[in-house]
Structure 1
Amino acid sequence: MLLLPLILFLLVGSGIGQQCQIATKCVTDYAEDQCWVTEQLVPNSHIFNCCPSCQVTSGETPPVTGCKPPYNCLPDGSYGPVQCKGDMFTGRCFCSDGNGNRIFGQMWRTDASQMTCACSRRRAEMEVSEKRSVTLHCTRSGDYEPLQCDNGMCWCAEPKTGQPTAGPVPESDMRQLPCYSTSKVGSQYLRRCESLVHAIAKIQQEQQDHGTNFLGNPVTFCDYDGSYGPYQITNGIAYCTGLDGEILGSWQVVSSEMTGMNCNCARDTIMYFPERGMTVTETCQPNGNYMPNQNVGNVFYCVDSDGYPTTDLLDQWPPGGCSNIISNSK
């Protein structure tokens, strides 16, 4: 299917509703049999309502649990995209999904006045609703990068809102976009980690097609900016890793016991706090998470998964430790 480069309109009832607001090409004719069992083909549903896509028709997104102060809450009771913790010296703001779960994107609190997390929130929502790998690129603060590509199409985006400013065009023509930069993007949109994930997936598919399943295949996770995620799995061991995929310190755990692993403490200790000229004073667990029970000499306190206190300074830890307090905090 090829859409001519002009503004398209679609009749809606007795009126005319604008559907495709910018020039575009749709390079692939989708067919119903290309959609998953739980999806159906929906016309004018992708790339600013210009192109068809497969949309989920069954299955539900996680329910909104209800946001309460002191969290930043939206009028519908969901969590705001930006959630801040700590004081103005060591405090940070993190991107959050609608249920208050931390997602990619953070800034130091003193620098976060213009933080929106619009890109991180949108990408997280798309990954849940569309059940596919999304390749929108977000900045470290959760905003949109100027050049965006997804599902074979590329366009320019306004960093704070994600609104398109040029395009979309097929990914092969991304160099024609005014937001394309050879020095920043290079010859391909996908970055090293993302390219590796695609290569591994292709190898695994070929192995399955030939009736083999090699358990030693590495498992790579990428963050929303295309860098390596906080942990990677090699030979059954999950290691905390930096943005370049290199192993951080000695934080590791066997992959069968990595449930809840986030490496927040490991990354803060090696990366984020040193960048700020500061030092992490809290203790990490062997898997790179923050130890919930913290103490300095005879002073005791509890921290959440981001390392911020959830109690006042105590003479002793609460009965049963800090686990009950942690489970009731985001």
Structure 2
Amino acid sequence: MFRILILSFFQLFIVSFQNSQQNPCKSIFGCISRFECAKDEYWAPAASLGGCCPGCVRGLGLNVMGCDGENPCAPGLVCGTGEICRINPANCLSTNHVPQQVHWKPACDSAGQFHPKQCRGDRLQGRCFCYSATGERIFGWDWRGKANDMTCACSRVRSNLEANGRTDVTLHCAPNGNFEKLQCDSGVCWCANPATGEPWPKVPIVSQALWKKLPCYKRSLHGDQYLRQCESESFAQKLMRSKFAIHGQRNVTHTDTVCDYDGSYGRYEIQRGIAYCTWRDGERITPFQTSSLKLSSMNCNCARDQKIFAAAGIDMVLLCEGNGNYKTLQDRNGELFCVDRDGFEVASQVSSDTECGQYMFA
């Protein structure tokens, strides 16, 4: 019964992840990787040789009118109201239509989705991050020089599960977005391949009550309970809110603890209408905070990077907003430039009234 449950789980999510990473065109050789498209054409990763090689395709450009079934928009655009081609932010190829002075384009697959791992910067201080298929940064990162084995498979699976309505996912991801070796979810536990999440061959999948019997269990590492402190707090809060709701008490103020995919404390906590940036141990990163009403625009990337860079012995030269995000307009010895949400430069030599948002790909 347990094996049936877990295999069904993998069929829905892990197998689909692996399929997205496999190359169905591996027998095709000789793709031309660099070429210039005509003025009325646009580059697409699957435009030639039956979708196996990149090429140029025709399509209407950004803000061009007249799109319809016979006159499609270029890859990365969608036909919007008034039959005008607009940016499709969920399509990775939309970044081909975003003006960028400092050239960087995310890695896209043939369907226009974002690859799970996106890398920025050089191999010394550059970093790789995990992304959803639609371009949202999700849990998981590593320094670029150490990211060869980084797949982001666990982060992608958890993100997909939560997007499909699961609120009780207990998969544990490593800091780089791969799977931890010991996994429990939906009442069963198994030893997992870190790169894919697949169960170890010839090792049984067991009920959660028997998780300590698995060969990948180590008492010094996993302790006596699978859920970690942040997860236990979060589940207790959800249970408390549910009980209050059952008794009709919906206006009670609760602390909202958010956990990362490795079970550590998430980027923020909400208490009495204020959202505070937090570190992995749950401590607030002062002075970064904002109203919970503005939570959707708060990512705390800059606040957390201050601690990450300090631990690595790297000087943090960029400035943060009060809510813990990176200031999009930065000053380098009097020269103004724009950075994105991850702190990477996307436009240089701009003016003080520049709208940096025009250079952001997502």
State the TM bucket, normalised to the shorter chain: 0.7 to 0.9
In structure 2, the residue matched to 1:247 is 284
Q: Aligned ranges for residues 227-238 of structure 1 at < 5 Å?
A: 227-238=264-275
Q: Where is the helix percentage greater, Structure 1 or Structure 2?
A: 2
User: Where in structure 2 are the equivalents of 1:52-67 lying within 5 Å?
Assistant: 64-67=90-93
Counterpart in the other structure of 1:147? 182
Moved more, 205-214 or 156-165: 205-214
Which SS does the other structure have where 1:120 is aligned? helix
Contact kept? 2:278, 2:285, Cα under 8 Å? yes
Give the counterpart letter for 1:65 in structure 2.
Answer: N
Q: Is the 8 A contact 2:116 2:151 kept in 1?
A: yes
What is the CA-CA distance between 1:216 and the residue it aligns to?
Answer: 2.1
Aligned-partner SS, 1:135: coil
Aligned match for 1:137, one of 165, 168, 172? 172
Counterpart pick for 1:173 among 202, 205, 210: 210
1:279-303 CA-partner distances (Å, limit 9, x unpaired): 2111100000001011123201000
Counterparts of 1:217 and 1:129, CA distance in 2: 25
Cα distance, 1:50 vs. partner? 8.5
Q: Which of 107, 110, 121 is the equivalent residue of 1:75? A: 110
Structure 1: where are the runs of 5+ without partners? 4-23, 26-43, 54-61
Shift of 1:212: 1.5
Q: CA deviation at 1:114?
A: 1.6
By how many angstroms is 1:64 displaced?
A: 4.6
Contact residue 92 and residue 106 of structure 2 kept, 8 A = no
So what's the TM-score if we normalise by structure 2? 0.72
Per-residue CA distance 1:31-77 (angstroms, 9 max, x = gap): xxxxxxxxxxxxx5x311399x9xxxxxxxx9952336721122222
- Counterpart-to-counterpart distance in 1, 2:166 and 2:220: 32
Alpha-carbon shift at residue 90 of structure 1 (Å): 2.1
**Residue 224 and residue 50 in structure 1: after superposition, are their counterparts in 2 closer, same or farther (change >3 A)?**
closer
Residue identity in the other structure for 1:83: Q
- Once the two structures are TM-superposed, the CA of residue 168 in structure 1 deviates from its matched residue by 1.6
Structure 1 match to 2:342: 306
Deviation readout 1:209-253 (Å, 9 max, x if unpaired): 222235321001100000000000011110000001110111001
**Secondary structure at 1:47's aligned position in 2?**
helix
TM-score, normalised by the number of residues in structure 1: 0.78
Counterpart of 1:275 in structure 2 is 311
Aligned residues: 275
Separation (CA, whole Å) in 2 of partners of 1:315 and 1:96: 28
> Would the aligned equivalents of 1:194 and 1:226 in 2 still touch at CA under 8 Å?
yes
* Secondary structure in structure 2 of the residue aligned to 1:295: strand
Distance 2:248 2:296 in 1: 29
Which of 188, 207, 212 is the matching residue for 2:244? 207
Q: Percent identity?
A: 41
Distance 2:206 2:357 in 1: 50
The one-letter amino acid paired with 1:266 is: A
Alpha-carbon distance change, 304 to 315 in structure 1, aligned in 2, over 3 angstroms: closer
How far off its partner does 1:167 sit?
Answer: 2.9
Distance 1:224 1:240 in 2: 17
* Deviation, structure 1 residue 98: 0.4
Q: 2:234 aligns with which of 197, 220, 244?
A: 197
* RMSD, aligned CA: 2.1
SS state at 1:221 partner: strand
SS in 1 for 2:179: coil
Amino acid at match of 1:223: D
8 A contact 2:152–2:177 mirrored in 1 = yes
**Map 1:40-59 → 2, pairs under 5 A:** 46-49=5-8
Runs (4+) of structure 1 exceeding 4 A deviation are: none
Aligned to 2:356: 322
SS at match of 1:126: helix
For residues 4-48 of structure 1, what are the alpha-carbon distances to aligned partners after superposition, in whole Å with 9 as ceiling and x for unaligned? xxxxxxxxxxxxxxxxxxxx46xxxxxxxxxxxxxxxxxx5x311
Per-residue deviation, 1:143: 0.7
Larger RCO, structure (CA 8 Å, separation 6 or more): 2
| d(CA) in 1 for partners of 2:316, 2:283 | 20
